[in-house]
Amino acid sequence: MGAPARRQQGGAFCHCRPALAVGGLEPAVPRRGAPAVLGRLRGCSEAAAALRPAPAAAEGPRPRPRLQELQELLKPHLTMCSLKCYSLRALFLLMLCRSMKIPEVEGKGEMLPPTIEKIIKGYNKYLRPFFDNGPVSVGMSLDIASIDTISEINMDYTATIFLRQRWTDERLCFDGNKSLSLDGRLVEMLWVPDTFIVDSKKSFLHDITVENRLIRIYPNGTILYALRITTTVACSMDLTKYPMDKQMCTLQLESWGYNINDVMFYWTRGNDSVRGLDTLRLAQYTVEDHFTSVSEAVYETGRYPKLVFHFELKRNILYFILETYVPSILLVVLSWVSFWISQSSVPARICIGVTTVLTMTTLMMGARTSLPNANCFIKAIDVYLGICFSFIFGALLEYAVAHFCALHRLSSKELPKDEDEEAEEESNGVLAAVANSCSAPDNMSKINSNKTSIDRKRETSKHNGCSSPMSVMKRLFCIFDCFHVKNPYHIDNYARFSFPLSFMIINVFYWVYYLYF
């Protein structure tokens, strides 16, 4: 049979429907266009077979030499074409087997809810709801999942919150009585409020295992949009009463681009719009009070809606009592032990005094590590540590004074009695001269009482000029004489009573002031 006849047979064979069977199973009707693709593949293979040299027939004319030469030249290309055709046929059969059940799934996917169809076809996410009919009312509520850290150094706190926003979009109304919970990634196709946290330093949206978003649409067009956010927010702190302080922190929500003419914010349930603080447990703080407020933020570009959540944190002082106050009190009491040690035991008393001073210095440095370096105010803990350091240093100075007085007394006992009496008479003479010099002007003023008023003023001025320095000297001598200790060993006895009493009185004033004022 000649080449034209073989082409006709091959063309006729291409229009035949093949019978396919894989694993003994008859396949379902293939997709639309599958017979055409199969016909093309089979037509290609038949065309390749038609160009191959035919076996010698018993009857018929012999092929021309030119046709044989053409077949020899095209033989490698025809072989590659046939191999590709067979590979494509096998690939097509595999894909056909895998796509047996696809028509059933596609049939289900074509039945989309009317809300989704409206979002895909006629929804414009760049236009807010009620574009020409007033502002959009956006209700908000919060769930505080955790407050991780509160830093006095950076003056901020880190919290994980669930932010929920509700608004109505008339373009998303649909028939039915059930809400639609959609995939969170669909929010990219909807209009959402441009809410941001005002004092946020850094924030991120949780994305494990997927982005933590919730989108729910109700039949009346109400949209519920929820997010899980972790944010670090600045909090201005007053540390003058640290660690007996209370801090008022806020979480402010504003609209970035829409002013009050476009968007209005409100709390959905008033003060009950924020939940989770009642069951919250913090390391150093206790949440005492919290409330919400609605205000407006005024900028150069306009007035923007703002919601503010206020919460008050009270610091737990028990940790600081055990960590700072009790050790400092014990160091002060330890410094008083030297009052019961003999003054002759110089190394023992010096060792106690120096050790307590150095330990108190270390305690003061450790207490300031968790506080800001640039302190613009004196804190309550600094005041108390300063008081304790003063008492410890005073105990060390007390021994220095007592030891000096004891040595001075020993040196005075070694002087002869004559020199001692002369020194006493000399001191008495100084006091007598001071008294006489002060009393002389008084007598002169009485004698010259009959002089003119000008002389009286002059005499009065001279009297005042003489009496004022003399009276000051007399008072100083009296003060020094009162503090004169005849027995230096009594200094320790006075210190045993005065140091604890004054420390207790100062403690009472300290705690009453910082706890109740």
Kindly give the interhelix angle for 380-413 and 326-336, rounded to the nearest 10 degrees. Answer: 10
pLDDT at 66: 59
pLDDT at 517: 85
Q: What percent of the chain has pLDDT over 70?
A: 61
Q: What is the pLDDT of residues 279-321, one digit of tens each?
A: 888 988 999 999 999 999 999 999 999 999 999 999 999 999 9
- The separation between the first and the last C-alpha atoms of the chain, rounded to the nearest angstrom, is 118
Instruction: Indicate the DSSP class of residue 197.
Output: E
Cα 485 from Cα 481, distance rounded (Å): 9
pLDDT at 479: 57
Task: Report whether the peptide linkage leading into residue 327 is cis, meaning its omega lies within 30 degrees of zero.
Answer: no
pLDDT at 461: 46
- In the three-class reduction of DSSP (H, G, I as helix; E, B as strand; rest coil), residue 272 is classed as helix
pLDDT at 75: 63
Return the closest-CA partner of residue 137 out of 162, 161, 169, 164.
Answer: 169
The encoded tokens of residue 477 equal: 């001598």
Q: What is the pLDDT of residues 249-278, one digit of tens each?
A: 999 999 999 999 999 999 999 999 999 998
Task: Report yes or no: 335 and 352 within 8 Å, Cβ to Cβ.
Answer: yes
Bridge pairing between strands 274-275 and 136-151: parallel
Task: Report yes or no: 105 and 57 within 8 Å, Cβ to Cβ.
Answer: no
pLDDT at 508: 97
Place of tokens 């009959």: 450
Cα 358 from Cα 211, distance rounded (Å): 55
Q: Is the torsion defined by CA of 170, 175, 179, 181 positive or negative?
A: negative
pLDDT at 121: 75
Question: Phi and psi dihedrals of 304, rounded to 5?
Answer: -120, 145
pLDDT at 51: 45
- pTM tops 0.75, yes or no: no
Positions in the chain whose pLDDT score sits under 50: 1-38, 40-41, 44, 47-48, 50-51, 53-63, 100-110, 415, 417-420, 423-435, 437-454, 457, 460-463, 465-466
Bridge pairing between strands 302-315 and 180-182: unpaired
Which residues, at least 6 apart from 148, have a Cβ–Cβ distance to it below 8 Å?
Answer: 158, 159, 160, 230
Q: How many CB atoms lie within 10 A of CB 395?
A: 23
Cα 41 from Cα 146, distance rounded (Å): 65
Report residue 286 CA to chain centroid gap: 17
Cα 12 from Cα 187, distance rounded (Å): 56
Cα 205 from Cα 213, distance rounded (Å): 9
